[in-house]
Amino acid sequence: MMTSVARLDPPAAPDGGVVTRTERLFAGRGALGVAYREAAETVAKHGSEDDTEVWCASVSGLANANAGATALLAAWQLSREEIRALGPRRLARIIEAAGAVCRRAGATAAAQLLKQAPLARRSLRSGDSTVTWADIVADLAREMPTAIIPLLAETGRVLSRTDLDGFRHWVESGRRACERDTGSQVAFFSLEDPAAVRLLARSGRSQPFDRLERRLSPYAAALYGRPAALRGIEPDPEAIVPPRPNIAGGLMRLPLRFAGADEIQDRTYHAAVAHMGAHLAFSRSRFEVGKLRPLQIALVNLAEDHRVETLASRALPGLANLWRSFHTIGADTPTTTDNLLARIARALADPAFEDDDWAVAKARALLAERSDRLEDPQISREFGSLLGNDFGQRRLQFNWKTYAVEPLYRDDGLGLWEFPEDVAPPETIEMFSDVARPEECSDAPERDDGRVDQDLEPARVRAATREDGLPVARYPEFDHRTGDLRQEWTSVRDMPVPSASPARLHALAATHASVHQKLVSQIRSARIGRSERLKRQPDGDVLDLEAAIDHTVKRRLGEIGDDRLFIRRNRQARDLATLVLLDVSESTRDRPPLSPASVLDMELAATTLLAGALDDLGDRIAIRSFASDGRNDVRMARLKEFDERLSDGPLGRLAGVRPGLSTRLGAAIRHATGEIAAERAYRRLITVVTDGEPSDVDVADPDYLALDARHAVRAARRAGIDIVCIALSNAHLDRAKQVFGAGHVFPVGRIDTLPTALSAIIFRLAAR
């Protein structure tokens, strides 16, 4: 989308330069002309002649896009105000983007873009980023013109929550999520859609929580001997205080990022997990709220935090050091309730901390009196009520809504309380409802971070049945533009298979009997299996000691010894499971040039022959066909099962296959991978038989499905599954090579070249 500046350079015009022409455009148009001259002079002052020409060209381009007075005035105002920050060239590019927006989404949208540009520049803190921002908006305008005004109206909110990459990513997600529905486009880009807010919050830099989650869970398990379930807390844009960790129904919930510098994130997460783990290990029963006031609750929490940390540190002394390092508040901070609570926390954690405030001294004394009862949570409650009364006499203000527990790593403490529904004082109820949250978070944070391992994650079975096929699984899809794995993006349905007379296939097999023979002998000789140690071989790498001794014994006895004296390692039995994935999309109806048969017929012939040969040898082979009609309708049919012999049943189903619809290859490969992964065989092979290019009705980008399929292919290979492509048309060979890798695509132009292709495949399998 980056437009080259060179393109803007004015052509040499007979009637003077672009500057003159642009000036003439606005001359004699009253206020508009005045405003233009003012802006043009400012620009000229801040740039070279060339710069000015580029700027003029952009302005005249905007005028030619029928931008109208409002947009033009906005462009000039932007130019005057932002000339220092952006410079003429960048201004020109933003104005040019406004021109593009104008052509697609109208003059109001273009004016809006120009008016919001200064805000974008301030939020993004970079001139170049501002240009890119404008380009992204212009790009979106092409597909979703109605979304532009709502999007620009929220510029401040959007850019305050993400960076440029995040913005690009988020816009892309919105573009995908809404597809052609203008209503949902507006809802998304105006941030009315909560999903949009959530995606925005996660769109920026990868969050520390995501990075650390995998090590925090074993960390908690190692410390306390119980596995911990962790969840991220989605940022709440309305929240007054930054989120603190909390415990909900045995789950540890953690912010996606702790406020503060990157370097301390690791330590903070470890401290938080260790702290919450201590609660789960030692705060066994929950406190009754009773008549406690919020400040007393905060004090009980504080004492309980101290109590569990002390208990945990007995076995794990290093944790005390870790936790203590977060207490940074000084004794000289103003005596507000929040500060005082933090100072008490520090005083309890750090015996060396000196603080003259009597509340601090009293807190220490109260706990010291109870130090022999540390196992008893009741001491926290006593501490809270006693110290709370004293606080009350000091008339210190406490506002639960603005209170954030210190230090940073500690949980909000509400997981320690039982909130009764009827007897709680109104203030408590209010407090509780403010922070109410589900006991069990079933809404695991939306994974949008492209984790590779989830690619092969099976397949949640959905209950509903439909007469036209049973939905069996949902799979992610890889978006190469954002680098994201879109979770549960495609649905695979198991289609019923109509049967037809297998006579045609029998005839076909008869015609190609010689091919069949070649295949059988080739596969038979293929060494695809575990390696075995063969003893008493006529040759080999190691002497077979026993054979050698036997041989000598016999020689001494005057007999003729057996001279097979070696041990050889060999790949002996063929242990191979094959799944053939047939592309039966509409394009397979075509006939390749010079071919007497359609692609589908060739696919069926090749599959029948291959299956026939493997079946003769007793190898396991399954056959699936696939076609798709949009991401929610990937249709797969089970033509032959692994356990089935190639009888008239499977042949009839093969004969019954009819071409139609599109090719969503990635989803089909993911489904096939899941199926073959369950097979117990030394080598597992998916053979995709296709005419080439993945495509589907809901995808315009030709690279999108191919790169998704490539992602699925790589995931299958990582899982130890071989995957190759038999390409039946040379037209899309490059695409097939892009998806499967050049060495894994075997073009078969005519059926009689099938054995050649197959021997290449087998050679490849045996070579490894």
- Closest to another protein by CB, 550 vs 629, is 550
| Nearer residue to another protein within complex by CB, 11 or 225 | 225
**Which of 227, 334, 618, 720 lies at the binding interface for another protein (CB under 8 A)?**
227
Query: How far is Cα 412 from Cα 429, in angstroms, rounded to an integer?
Result: 16
Shortest distance (Å) from residue 545 CB to another protein? 8
Least distance from another protein to the Cβ atom of residue 571, Å: 18
- Supply the minimum distance, in Å, between the C-beta of residue 149 and another protein: 45
Residue labelled with tokens 């026993």:
546
Helices (H), 535-626: 545-556, 599-616
Long-range contact set of residues 223-226: C-beta below 8 Å, sequence gap at least 24: 223/274, 223/277, 223/312, 223/316, 223/319, 224/277, 224/278, 224/280, 224/281, 224/312, 226/277, 226/280, 226/281
Q: How far is the CB of 447 from another protein (least distance, A)?
A: 17
Q: Are 485 and 450 in contact (CB under 8 A)?
A: yes
Residue 219 interacting with another protein (CB under 8 A): yes
Residue 316 in the binding site for another protein (CB under 8 A): yes
Encoding tokens for residue 523? 């596969």
Assess 195 for contact with another protein (CB under 8 A).
no
Query: Residue 219 or 287: which CB sits closer to another protein?
Result: 219
Q: Which region, judged by CB under 8 A, interacts with another protein, from 2-10, 208-216, 279-287, 361-369?
A: 208-216
How many residues contact another protein, by CB under 8 A?
Answer: 29
Q: Which two tokens stand for residue 362?
A: 């009293």
The correct pick among 85, 322, 386, 534 for binding another protein (CB under 8 A) is 322
Angle between helices 754-767 and 599-616 (to 10 degrees): 50
Q: Which residue in the set 16, 156, 194, 218 belongs to the binding site for another protein (CB under 8 A)?
A: 218
Here the tokens at position 175 are 């573009």
Alpha-carbon span 446 to 177, nearest angstrom? 14
- Which parts of 242-301 are beta strand (E)? 246-248, 251-255, 287-288
Kindly state whether residue 558 participates in binding another protein, applying the rule CB under 8 A: no
Q: For the CA atoms of the chain, what is the radius of gyration?
A: 36
Residue with tokens 């030709």: 702
The minimum distance between CB 262 and another protein, in angstroms, equals 17
Is the Cβ–Cβ distance between 617 and 524 less than 8 Å? Answer: yes
The token pair at 264 is 């301390």
Q: Which stretch binds another protein (CB under 8 A): 76-84, 312-320, 341-349, 627-635?
A: 312-320
Nearer to another protein, 45 or 533 (CB): 533
Of 76, 170, 224, 704, the residue at the interface with another protein (CB under 8 A) is 224
Q: Compute the least distance from the CB of residue 312 to another protein, in Å.
A: 9
Least Å from the CB of residue 128 to another protein: 36
- How far, in Å, CA of 10 to CA of 659, rounded? 54
Contacts of 297 (CB under 8 A, 6+ apart): 289, 384, 413, 417, 428, 431
User: Coil, helix or strand for 571?
Assistant: strand
Q: In what order do the strands lie in the sheet with 542-543?
A: 531-537, 566-571, 542-543
Output the smallest distance, CB 546 to another protein, in A.
7
Q: Looking at 125, 205, 214, 437, which residue binds another protein (CB under 8 A)? A: 214
Nearest distance, CB of residue 311 and another protein, angstroms: 14
Distance CA 408, CA 326 (A): 7
Looking at beta carbons only, is 121 or 307 nearer to another protein? 307
Residue (181 or 546) nearer to another protein, CB: 546
Residue 560 near another protein by CB under 8 A: no
Binding mask 267-306 for another protein (x = CB under 8 A): ---x---x--------------------------------
Q: Does 215 sit near another protein (CB under 8 A)?
A: yes
Q: Could you say whether residue 556 binds another protein (CB under 8 A)?
A: yes
Supply the minimum distance, in Å, between the C-beta of residue 270 and another protein.
5
The residue within the footprint of another protein, chosen from 30, 225, 334, 426 (CB under 8 A), is 225
Looking at residue 114, its amino acid is: L
Residue 264's SS3 state is helix
Cis peptide leading into residue 407 (ω within 30°): yes
Q: Based on CB atoms, which residue is closest to another protein, 319 or 657? A: 319
From residue 516 to residue 555, the character string flagging contacts with another protein as x (rule: CB under 8 A) and all else as - is -----------------x-----------xx--xx-xx--
Q: Binding of another protein at residue 318 (CB under 8 A)? A: yes
Cβ atoms 266, 212 nearer than 8 A: yes
Q: Is 766 in the site for another protein (CB under 8 A)?
A: no
Q: Closer CB to another protein, residue 42 or residue 325? A: 325
The conformational region for residue 242 under phi > 0 = left, psi -120 to 50 = alpha, else beta, is beta
Q: Residue from 12, 28, 261, 321 that binds another protein (CB under 8 A)?
A: 321
**Distance (Å, whole) CA 274 – CA 291:** 31
Stretch that binds another protein, among 214-222, 335-343, 536-544, 656-664 (CB under 8 A): 214-222
3-state helix, strand, coil in the chain (%, to 5): 55, 15, 35
Residue with tokens 């932002």: 82
Query: Judged by CB under 8 A, which of 27, 315, 461, 760 binds another protein?
Result: 315
Q: Which residues bind another protein (CB under 8 A)?
A: 214-219, 221-225, 227, 270, 274, 315-319, 321-322, 533, 545-546, 549-550, 552-553, 556
